[in-house]
Amino acid sequence: MLSKAALAVISSAPSTLLVTRPSDKVIRVILNRPKAFNALSLPQAAYLKDLYENLAPDVTVVMEGMDTGKRTKSFCSGGDVREIWEEGMWRWQGKADPPTPLPSVDGTSTFFHTEYQLNTLISRHPSQLSIWDGICMGGGVGLSVHGSHRVSTSRTVFAMPETGIGLFPDVGGSAWLPRLGGGWGYYLGLTGERIGGRTARRLGVSNVHVEEWNDEVRDQVLGRLGGGER
């Protein structure tokens, strides 16, 4: 059941997150930054961290991405690299207050600090259903791969592309990538290669695959979750 604290958090969601309550046992979260392919920003990560800290174990979180209105769909394209880059450049130039303030924690961007805390909370929550109907990369993987249920579709484009910008596969990637069979984890982590939904399911990255995620399938899933099924 939802506590008063959880209900208060739900009512204070930012415009970049559409948070609804289909039932007392289900919360639906839609990442709402379609122009940025639903990239994860610091305010979103901070809000979701607050939400998970106040959720009871019997509440299921259903996480989706807003329709981009383009041919390429997206669950979450990753952390907002532009936001992080602007902060780094601003501080490198010796200026105290970047245009989009991201205060530092021990010299590390608060974004990463908050994001990794959120990833940990998701890994500990008993029930989360993430819908990879489109791009799921980097920070989007962190939002979902640690959850209990990951649904891939025919439109899934999954990748850990961090090495392309000189970063390591973060959001817990060094923990779960090596567990993939056949050396696939090392390959995906080192190359940033993209894979589709069927391959993701075959490797066990997703644990459910449907060819199409539509309103009918969504209503059936939400109905079952609302009735206590997991």
For the annotated catalytic residues, the residue numbers are 79, 139, 162, 170
Alpha-carbon Rg for the chain, nearest whole angstrom, is: 17
Which residue pairs, CB below 8 angstroms and at least 24 apart, start in 107-110? 109/84, 110/42
From CA 130, how far away is CA 50, in angstroms rounded? 19
The two structure tokens encoding residue 183:
């050396």
Instruction: Show Cβ contacts of residue 112 under 8 Å, excluding neighbours closer than 6 positions.
Output: 170
Beta-ladder partners of 129: 62, 149
Q: Within 13 Å and on the Cβ side, how many CA atoms surround 34?
A: 10
DSSP state of 79: B
